[in-house]
Amino acid sequence: SRFVQSKNLTSVHPMWQEPLEVPGGDRQSPIDISVRKSVFDPNLKPLVTQYDPRTCQQIWNNGYSFLVEYDDTTDKSTLRGGPLEDQFRLCQFHFHWGENNTWGSEHTVDRNLYPAELHLVHWNADKYALFEEAVMEENGLAVIGVFLKVGKTHEGLQKLVDALPAVRHKGSVVEFTKFDPSCLLPESINEYWTYAGSLTTPPLTEAVTWIIMKQPIEVSHNQLAVFRSLLFTSAEEEVQKSMVNNFRFQQPLKGRTVRSSFT
Ligand SMILES: CCCSc1c(F)c(F)c(S(=O)(=O)NC)c(F)c1F
Ligand SMILES: [Zn+2]
């Protein structure tokens, strides 16, 4: 797929020639979260994450982002509570980021952009046997989104940053173990927005219950610079393209309500 690297946000193109409208696309992601239009829901429960660092397996550059992949064949790393009726298993986490610190996140809050956004992808293991099944179902996935802002070095992230040069090219994989992703969550995980949405990369299926953390985490400028040293292209391709602006354009809300767990 063709990438178009451009110099300003208005013409920044997503990294694939995405369909303008997804068939039946009335719950597409990402969106802008309007704080004043979100509705406080007192029935939202506390989020419960139980992540076992021993389930962390590898990092893979899939040509869109780098995925830190977990063993999801048992219920060792799970998410439940919040807006969720079922128990979900962590299968991977990845990030979306920009070519500079001005933009890069997929969701925005009152149109405010962050330089990057973390996605922890979980699938509904109470209802489905495999991720591949769940990704096609409307209650199949739960993704925790965490905004990144530039500030002090994130000590927990540094172990991941140090491994990234080993997966510089599309298609590369490196072993990566004993990483506890809860170090990437903000202190207050019970202040979040939640809405019904979709994947933001193909197959763009409307399978995601989004849980977006209100509090960002801080990472250093240098840590983000290492994200930008990755490549969209494989080692064989003659023209190397830096992996930046791997976010999707914002999508119409189409009457959806964004709920908040806090007032
Ligand atoms: C068949 C997908 C492979 S796993 C995956 C992914 F790689 C990804 F990038 C996103 S995203 O849409 O970009 N962010 C939530 C997902 F939702 C995913 F489930
Ligand atoms: Zn994502």
pLDDT tens for each residue of 12-30:
454 556 665 566 689 999 9
User: For residue 131, what is the DSSP state?
Assistant: H
Distance CA(184)–CA(112), nearest Å, equals 21
pTM: 0.94
Q: Ligand 2 mean position to 96 CA, how many Å? A: 6
Q: How confident is the model at residue 188 (pLDDT cuts 50, 70, 90)?
A: very high
Residue 217 has what pLDDT? 98
Tokens of 218: 């801080």
Tell me the average pLDDT across 60-75: 98
Q: What's the 200 CA to ligand 2 centre distance in angstroms?
A: 6
Full DSSP string of 38-63: -EE-TTPPPEEEE--GGGEEEEEE-S
Asked if the ipTM is above 0.85, the reply is yes
Over residues 144-169, the pLDDT tens digits come to 999 999 999 999 999 999 999 999 99
Pocket probe mutation, ligand 1, options 64, 117, 121, 247, max atoms within 8 Å of Cβ = 121
Q: Which ligand is nearest to the CA of 29?
A: 1
Residue position matching structure tokens 């509705």: 39
Contact indicator for 251, 18 with CB cutoff of 8 Å: no
Q: Which residues contact 19 (CB under 8 A, 6 or more apart)?
A: 204
Mean pLDDT over all residues of the chain?
A: 93
Which residues, 6 or more positions from 131, have their beta carbon under 8 angstroms from its beta carbon? 72, 91, 123
For the cut 60, the answer to whether the pLDDT of residue 113 exceeds it is yes
CB 120 within 8 A of CB 210: no
pLDDT at 6: 39
The pick from 124, 201, 206 for probing ligand 1's pocket by mutation, whose C-beta has the most ligand atoms within 8 angstroms, reads 201
For residue range 204-232, list pLDDT tens digits in order. 999 999 999 999 999 999 999 999 999 99
Q: Which helix (H) or strand (E) holds 81?
A: strand 78-81
What pLDDT does 32 receive? Answer: 98
The two three-digit tokens of residue 182, written as one number = 């809860």
The mean per-residue pLDDT over the stretch 250-262 comes to 97
- φ/ψ of 198, rounded to 5, equals -140, 175
Using the mean position of ligand 2's atoms as its centre, give its distance from the Cα of residue 201 in Å.
7
Q: Compute the distance between CA of residue 123 and CA of residue 207 in angstroms, rounded to an integer.
A: 9
Strands, DSSP E only, in 82-153? 88-97, 108-109, 116-124, 141-150
Protein residue with its CA nearest to atom 9 in ligand 1: 201
Calpha distance 204→208 (Å, rounded): 10
Give dist(CA 172, CA 165) in Å, integer. 10
Closest listed residue to residue 154, CA positions, set 216, 61, 98: 216
pLDDT at residue number 3: 37
Distance 106 CA to ligand 1 centre (A): 13
CB atoms within 10 A of CB 185: 19
Spatial CA neighbour of 84 closest among 257, 213, 262, 211: 211
* Range list of H helices, the chain: 131-134, 155-163, 221-227
- Tell me the C-alpha distance between 17 and 255, whole Å: 26
